[in-house]
Amino acid sequence: MLKAVSSDRSRKIKVILALAVPSMIENFLQTIVGFVDTLFVSRIGLNEVAAVGVTNAIMAVYIAVFMAMGVGTSSLIARSVGAGEIHKAKAIARQSTWISALLGLAFGIITLFFAEPLLRLMGAEPHVLADSVVYFRIVAVPSIFISLMTVFGSILRAAGDTKTPMKVGLWINMVHIALDYVLIFGLFGWAGWGIAGAAWATSAVRVIGSVALFIYIRKSKLSFSIRKGASNEYALPLLKLSAPAAAERLIMRFGQVLYFGLIVRIGTDVYAAHILAGNIEIFSYMPGYGLAVAATTLVGQHLGANRKEDAYQYGLLTMWIAVVFMAFAGILLFVFSPIAANWFTKDAAVIKMVTTALRIDAFAQPFLAIGLVIAGALQGAGDTKSPMYSTAIGMWLVRVVGVYVLCLHFDMGIAGIWISIAIDLIIRAAYLTLRFYRKMRSAPA
């Protein structure tokens, strides 16, 4: 009996890792390319870096909405595939593609006509506004390709194929780096386009990625025609699932703006140290993001197949795998944080603050793992509201109030900021785990 249980657990772990590892690699590659992109732009000048930074702050909102559409798509398709309703899964894929395309077109039109006012609203200084407008329009007017890439990747992952998005991501990231260099700095006597070249490189690979992913979908079991068999039957279910996911991401973005504003009040050096710590910490998220994708797919598919207990076990097992991965990441953060900080700055005071932040964060990594994976599991089960509630409470109450009290009242500096973040992650993990337990126990057998 024990041998059978152990064998079943081992099988489940293999299934989880087969889905999660390609997603981890894909996320890691995207992060690396982001660093390279910033490095290339920084060689042009600081104004160009500022222009890209303020543009990316707006693009983060756009992408948040597109990713939310991907969440709704993943949830519905995973459950349909699990139930063996491939025709329904195809119909959902087609519907989500149309909705995503319309969203992308809408954001593109908004950018075309309102690029300058939006950039001013985000605080773009006059001396960087011209470069910001150029960069913003080139990367955001064709937002339809960002939206389509996101939803096409979600369709394939929901069907259990995480390798194809990884492979496409690998190739387009390599093309991106090459195009970035050539279009920014030029080649064979051509001077290049500077910041506009960086924007064109980004937009070009998004077009390539969208086409490549759709070609792979057409070869998969979820192959569908965009023009034929269109139906609005699944539009409302998609929007019902996607709207809370979009709200969650927007709450997170605007909450960050608010509590970043509080951090700026503490001091410029503290703010700089916080940003550097965040840039280093982002690598620890990779296992959690990959395993969250696996949790969404596996929970959704097994609920669709009416295998509730398997869905519950997959959710918990994926969570514990994430805890192991990210606890190890926490150990690395604790030990190597001074070395990592030294890569970004030689200021001893800033290095000390970054080290303090990352060593506090090291202890919060297992709770971050739980929050990421269980949020994915809940989304696979069709619950996109609980993650939204946890983000709202965490960002607007725990973090904002925590930073205000610990930093501005008790003068704890960067330690107060990251203690607030850790408390948020602990509360979020506990809340989402409880919600997942109740959701699975109340689901019909």
Q: Which pLDDT tens digit goes with each residue over 229-266?
A: 556 788 888 888 889 988 888 888 778 777 777 887 88
Domain for residue 124, yes or no?
yes
- Same domain (yes/no): 190, 248: no
Q: Do 193 and 202 meet the contact criterion of CB atoms below 8 Å apart?
A: no
- Model confidence at 95, pLDDT cuts 50, 70, 90, reads very high
User: For residue 162, is pLDDT > 80?
Assistant: yes
Domain boundary, last residue among 204, 233, 262: 233
Do 202 and 257 have their domain in common?
no
Closest CA to 99 of 65, 54, 50, 53: 65
Q: What is the pLDDT of residue 443?
A: 58
Looking at the structure, tell me whether residues 210 and 281 fall in a common domain: no
Mean pLDDT across 173-200:
89
pLDDT tens-digit profile of 277-319? 887 888 888 889 999 999 999 999 999 999 999 999 999 999 9
In a domain, 181, yes or no: yes
Residues 220 and 126 occupy one common structural domain: yes
Domain count, the chain: 2
Split at pLDDT 50, 70, 90, the class of 218 is: very high
Q: Is residue 5 part of a domain?
A: no
pLDDT, average across residues 372-383: 94
Q: What is the pTM of this model?
A: 0.86
- pLDDT for residue 245: 87
Return the number of other C-beta atoms located less than 10 Å from residue 215's C-beta. Answer: 13
- Judgement on whether residues 190 and 289 belong to the same structural domain of the protein: no
Domain stops at, among 185, 206, 233: 233
Q: Are residues 280 and 403 in the same domain?
A: yes
In a domain? residue 149: yes
Q: 204 or 28: whose pLDDT is higher?
A: 204
Choosing from 183, 203, 233, the residue where a domain stops is 233
Residue 190 structural domain: 20-233
Residue 269: per-residue pLDDT: 81
* pLDDT confidence of residue 282: 82
Quick one: 259 and 357 in the same domain?
A: yes
Whether 150 is in a domain gets the answer yes
208-216 average pLDDT score: 95
Let me know whether 277 and 320 are in one domain: yes
- Would you say residue 1 has pLDDT above 60? no
Are residues 123 and 76 part of one domain? Answer: yes
Residue 6 covered by a domain: no
| pLDDT higher than 60, residue 445 | no
Determine, yes or no, domain membership for 13: no
Judged against a pLDDT cut of 80, whether residue 173 lies above it is answered with yes
Q: Which two tokens stand for residue 342?
A: 């030294």
Average pLDDT, the chain: 88
